[in-house]
């Protein structure tokens, strides 16, 4: 927790990047923070397009998860749509929870853990000790401040593994996963579902009998407390925003295949799910 908290404090000073413009004449503005995680990028861009169609100017702010929580709590961002509970982001909610409001659950069948290709022999997290040489004694992770990294460190301790948890980024983790699968060599990564990695490759979670990673996670949308009373129309939209596995998977796949045309991909997805998005507006 100490490590995560220090990362959060240090990261507050980071400068956010990227912004998009919508209808500037309406005067309705909203800032959405997001981390470069596939499901969050997909949901955030979907919300952006839908809100812009309602006349909002939507600004997207991208950073690691710690500064995103700090930004929403401090009012520098209004909303964050990729809060995983009750395990992954518990520490951040304990730190910032009194300054943010949970607007709702957008997806209720999420999961985190250690993930391997289906061809490896290890079945449980405890098995990793037996196959240490094959895995080179490394778990390939993502950004250091991510909640799943803290849980992976907990798992290494809980199972007494002599492994190093390597921090990188989601993109670097995916590149390492692809390389090992192409070469059919063992690799273990910090993984989560929903994620398009499960559509691209044959993967499985290592069994976790000690339940370090918990059971099912919920992906929730949080908002700055003041924002929740300032713009009730937008708040109602985020409260209704819900996706099932099929809908979120298809959205993420559309984004993954967009190749620079993400907005067009989102609009095409919306046209194919008109009845669903109509429920949110």
pTM: predicted TM-score of the whole model, two decimal places: 0.76
Residue 27 in this model has a pLDDT that exceeds 90: no
The larger pLDDT score, comparing residue 147 to residue 251, is at 251
Q: Give the range among 29-38, 139-148, 218-227 with minimum mean pLDDT.
A: 139-148
At residue 109, the pLDDT reads: 87
Band of pLDDT at residue 207, cut at 50, 70 and 90: very high
Nearest to 178 by CA among 168, 167, 189: 189
At residue 87, the pLDDT reads: 85
Give the three-state DSSP class for 172: helix
Q: Is the dihedral of CA 258, 146, 35, 236 positive or negative?
A: positive
User: How far apart (Å, rounded) are the C-alpha atoms in residues 166 and 173?
Assistant: 9
At residue 258, the pLDDT reads: 84
Other CB atoms within a 10 A radius of the CB of residue 102 amount to 16
Nearest to 47 by CA among 31, 35, 25, 63: 31
Q: Give the range among 12-16, 54-58, 177-181 with minimum mean pLDDT.
A: 12-16
Label residue 147 exposed, middle or buried (CB < 10 Å: 0-12, 13-18, 19+). buried
């Amino acid at each position: 927790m100490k490590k995560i908290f220090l990362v959060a404090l240090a990261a507050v000073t980071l400068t956010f990047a990227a912004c998009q413009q919508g209808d500037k004449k309406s005067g309705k503005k909203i800032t959405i923070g997001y981390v470069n995680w596939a499901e969050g990028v997909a949901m955030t861009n979907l919300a952006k397009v839908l809100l812009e169609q309602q006349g909002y100017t939507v600004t997207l702010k991208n950073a690691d998860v710690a500064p995103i929580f700090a930004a929403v709590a401090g009012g520098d961002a209004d909303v964050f749509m990729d809060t995983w509970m009750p395990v992954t982001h518990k520490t951040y909610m304990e730190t910032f929870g009194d300054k943010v409001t949970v607007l709702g659950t957008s997806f209720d069948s999420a999961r985190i853990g250690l993930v391997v290709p289906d061809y490896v022999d290890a079945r449980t997290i405890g098995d990793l000790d037996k196959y240490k040489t094959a895995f080179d004694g490394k778990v390939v992770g993502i950004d250091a401040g991510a909640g799943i990294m803290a849980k992976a460190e907990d798992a290494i301790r809980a199972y007494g593994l002599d492994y190093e948890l390597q921090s990188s980024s989601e993109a670097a983790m995916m590149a390492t996963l692809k390389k090992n699968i192409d070469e059919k060599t063992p690799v273990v990564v910090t993984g989560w579902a929903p994620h398009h990695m499960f559509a691209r490759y044959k993967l499985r979670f290592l069994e976790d009998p000690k339940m370090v990673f918990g059971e099912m996670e919920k992906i929730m949308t949080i908002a700055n407390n003041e924002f929740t009373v300032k713009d009730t129309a937008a708040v109602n939209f985020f409260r209704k925003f819900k996706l099932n596995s099929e809908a979120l998977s298809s959205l993420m796949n559309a984004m993954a295949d967009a190749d620079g045309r993400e907005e067009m991909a989102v609009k095409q997805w919306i046209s194919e799910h008109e009845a669903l998005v109509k429920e949110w507006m």
